[in-house]
């Protein structure tokens, strides 16, 4: 019995030694600074990942595409530490002996991006709705990631409308907003004016702004919205241009009806 117990102890020690001698499967070398375009940072975005044997080669693609962290907003940056990477690997089932983690102690991640222009928005809307579209008010400043821009939107019920849209880059949603647009139809290759578009329209009495009605004035200054109160001097539907009187000025201002009792102006 003593010899049997000694044999079991020896086998146990041999097994432990064998497990301690196990070679790592992959080497992960973190970079110092990277620029990414997608909304999620994968391991291959921030590190060089190399297999250290045949078994590691089989697992290479899976570890390279491992999600590490959300990317920052376009043109912003964030830092991902080596500790965060190790934690994500452990959560994915990788043991500390399965990989070698070296290189930089932290990675500076920058999200690429660009300013979206009104012309690009109009073209994307025209493609989505398959009709000519004109923006009646300039869009707010929008920074989107690099990539193919598309728009999701439904055909409005009237030629002039506040149109909710979703912006997508490479098929991924990046922003939602409302745009005041004028939509026209095509007849024999010619653009039809909004007065002759065969769409359901609101009755003439369905005004969003009434004459002598207090309205909210909105002016956009960069990313800031400035609001004030005025008195409408004309009736108007969404998309119509109306005059609004200001209490501090003898000269009325022109604006575009953008909602119920709401008029958007360039400035006052």
pLDDT in tens, 207-245: 889 988 999 888 876 667 788 888 999 999 888 889 998
Confidence at residue 46, expressed as pLDDT on a 0 to 100 scale: 97
pLDDT tens profile 83-127: 999 999 999 999 989 999 999 999 999 999 989 998 999 999 999
Instruction: Find the length of the chain.
Output: 268
- Please report, to the nearest 10 degrees, the dihedral formed by the alpha carbons of residues 150, 114, 36, 152 taken in order: -20
Work out the number of other CB atoms within 10 angstroms of the CB of residue 72: 17
- Taking the whole predicted model, whether its pTM rises above 0.95 is answered as no
Every domain of the chain with CATH number 2.60.480.10 lies at 24-111
- Who wins on pLDDT, 10 or 235? 235
Q: Which residues contact 214 (CB under 8 A, 6 or more apart)?
A: 229, 230, 231, 232, 261
Residue 75 Rama label (left phi>0; alpha psi -120 to 50; beta): left
Average pLDDT rounded to a whole number, residues 146-161: 88
Does residue 9 carry a pLDDT above 90? no
Architecture of domain 24-111: Sandwich (2.60)
- Spatial distance between the Cα atoms of 265 and 268, rounded to a whole number of angstroms: 7
Confidence of residue 21 (pLDDT cuts 50, 70, 90): low
Separation between Cα atoms, residue 64 and residue 42, nearest integer Å: 7
Q: Rounded to a whole number, what is the largest CA-CA distance in the chain? A: 110
- In the sheet with 99-103, reading across from the earlier edge strand, the strands are 47-51, 26-30, 99-103
Q: Which two tokens stand for residue 160?
A: 């002039």
Domain with CATH 2.30.30.760 in the chain: 214-265
Written out in words, the top-level CATH class of the domain with range 214-265 is: mainly beta
- Cβ–Cβ under 8 Å, residues 99 and 27: yes
Please, what's the b/e burial string for 81-102 (b: 16 or more CB within 10 A of its CB; e: otherwise)? ebeebeebbeeeebeeebbbbe
- pLDDT tens for residues 161-204? 888 999 998 888 888 888 888 888 654 444 444 333 334 444 45
Give the Cα separation of 127 and 25 in Å (integer). 49
Please count the other Cβ atoms lying within 10 Å of the Cβ belonging to residue 152.
13
């Amino acid at each position: 019995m003593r010899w049997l117990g000694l044999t079991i102890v020896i086998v146990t020690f041999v097994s432990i030694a064998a497990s301690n001698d196990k070679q790592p499967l992959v080497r992960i070398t973190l970079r110092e600074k990277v620029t990414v375009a997608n909304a999620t940072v994968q391991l291959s975005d921030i590190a060089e990942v190399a297999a250290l044997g045949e078994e590691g080669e089989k697992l290479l693609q899976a570890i390279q595409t491992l999600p590490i962290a959300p990317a920052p907003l376009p043109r912003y940056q964030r830092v991902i530490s080596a500790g965060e990477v190790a934690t994500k690997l452990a959560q994915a089932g990788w043991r500390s002996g399965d990989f070698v983690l070296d290189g930089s102690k932290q990675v500076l991640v920058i999200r690429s991006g660009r300013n979206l222009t009104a012309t690009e928005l109009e073209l994307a809307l025209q493609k989505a709705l398959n009709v000519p579209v004109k923006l009646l008010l300039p869009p707010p400043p929008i920074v989107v990631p690099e990539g193919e821009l598309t728009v999701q939107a439904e055909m409005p019920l009237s030629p002039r409308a506040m149109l909710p849209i979703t912006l997508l880059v490479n098929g991924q949603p990046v922003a939602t907003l409302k745009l005041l647009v004028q939509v026209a139809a095509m007849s024999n290759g010619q653009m039809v004016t909004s007065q002759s578009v065969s769409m359901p329209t609101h009755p003439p009495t369905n005004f969003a702004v009434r004459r002598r009605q207090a309205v909210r004035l909105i002016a956009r200054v960069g990313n800031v919205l400035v609001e004030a109160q005025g008195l409408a001097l004309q009736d108007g539907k969404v998309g119509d241009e109306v005059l609004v009187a200001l209490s501090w000025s003898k000269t009325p201002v022109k604006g575009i009806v953008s909602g119920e009792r709401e008029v958007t102006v360039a400035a006052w």
